[in-house]
Chains A and B, each alone.
Chain A
Amino acid sequence: MAVADGVQLLGRRTLKAISGLGRAGLMLWGAIVRQPNFKKGLPLLLKQIYVVGVQSMVIILVSGLFIGMVLALQGYNVLVEFGTEESLGPMVALALMRELGPVVTALLFAGRAGSALTAELGLMKSSEQLSSLEMMAIDPLKQVVAPRFWAGVISMPLLALMFTAVGIYGGHLVGVEWKGIDSGAFWSILQASVEWRQDIVNCIIKSGVFAFVVTWIALYRGYHVVPNPEGISKATTQTVVQASLAVLALDFLLTAMMFAR
């Protein structure tokens, strides 16, 4: 009997997971694929880019600066033992472009903007604003979900690029201004080892994928929230946890596809 219960529980969990995936897919389909309306959507999109992107800029820029500085400091301590401290530039730049830029931006974005999206949508749902939109024959997927989704997908690659650029200048600050590496050597070795297609394009692709996944999870968790205070708090937590795990797992997959030879 106990075994049968266990099997039933497993089955129920699996069905729930699959139906959740299906609902998330349907939500995305309804929001972005079905008859897009660019003229009406643009002002909404701008508003959301402001909330999601512009307001995340400060935390992204400050973290980028500090992560670049810390990388340079730690890298310098190791490299100086081999007398190759000039290679600090490529170390900082490649680490930021290939991994830290997209990944840390996505994690910060999930914490800063993803949780806010979930909470906002969850509260809209539990105070029945979404149903009232439907009563007025306005599709909440079009009016509420789609602009937020596109705002996330547009903002995050831009944020990741800013993070990386600021991080490299942070590395420059520590390496050149503080530790006294020659500025010319720093930039020339960096330029010799960074490649446009391999590093910068892959950085943008990575953060685009992360943006898609993080925003999707955040919106799904908010849109299908259990409409009470406990449900909203749970959904917000789940957004951050699931988005972070998804980002890290996807990062491994993408790295394996892009950089494995």
Chain B
Amino acid sequence: MSTRKIELFVGMFLLAGIAAFLVLVFKVANIEVQSADSRYQLTARFDNVGGLKVRSPVKVGGVVVGRVMDIHLDPDRQEPVVTISIDRKYSFPETSSLAILTSGLLGEQFLGLTPGFVDDDIAMLDDGDRIDDTRSALVLEDLIGQFLYSVSNKDE
């Protein structure tokens, strides 16, 4: 077999490998190629973050507008603080609220953002701002506990 043919096949082999890599990266992992300045970060305090994870989506009416970047415990107030980054395309007034919701009964947890009202003296949220109006995760075990407690109280 001539050298040219071999080199041709090897070139095709390498291209096929790179193509497979690109398919995995862009079609399967779907990594977002976005610079840092196309997003802005907000923080929010919760009483309980439940099963929320880093990279969980932030949704407005079911549309993903951002992701959870970091979850840590505020050492002074002993409360979880969630940092989220939102796409610059979207802006929300500072009266907006965040709630931790579950997709389906047993599904993954995500952050639901409800945009608030806009008025003359209401500013828009920007990088580093904090959302104060938050609702914590519904923990199924706590609910069952409360339910059992109320049922057993009724019997007496």
Please report A residues at the B interface, Cβ cutoff 8 Å. Answer: 43, 46-47, 49-50, 53-54, 57, 93, 97, 155, 157-159, 161-162, 164-166, 168, 187, 190-191, 194-196, 199-200, 203
Contact = CB atoms under 8 A, between A and B. Distances in A.
Contact of B6 (A46, A97, A165, A187): A46
B3 A43 contact: yes
Closest 10 CB pairs of A and B: A158-B17, A191-B30, A165-B20, A161-B20, A162-B20, A196-B29, A54-B13, A165-B23, A50-B6, A196-B31
A196 B25 CA distance: 7
B140 interface: no
Interface in B21-52: 21, 23-25, 27-31
Nearest to B13: A54
Contacts, number: 69
Contacts of A93: 28
Interface of B: 3, 6-7, 9-10, 12-14, 16-21, 23-25, 27-31, 55
Contacts of A191: 27-30
Contacts of A158: 13-14, 16-18, 20-21
Contact of A49 (B13, B19, B21, B29): B13
Given A53-B13, A164-B20, A191-B30, 10 more contacts: A46-B7, A49-B10, A54-B13, A158-B13, A161-B24, A164-B24, A165-B24, A191-B28, A195-B29, A199-B29
Given A162-B17, A164-B20, A200 B10 contact: no
Nearest to A162: B20
A214 B14 CA distance: 20
A26 to B, nearest CB: 30
Of B9, B13, B21, B30, the most chain A CB neighbours within 10 A belong to B13
Contacts of B12: 54
Nearest to A53: B13
A260 to B, nearest CB: 18
A159 B17 contact: yes
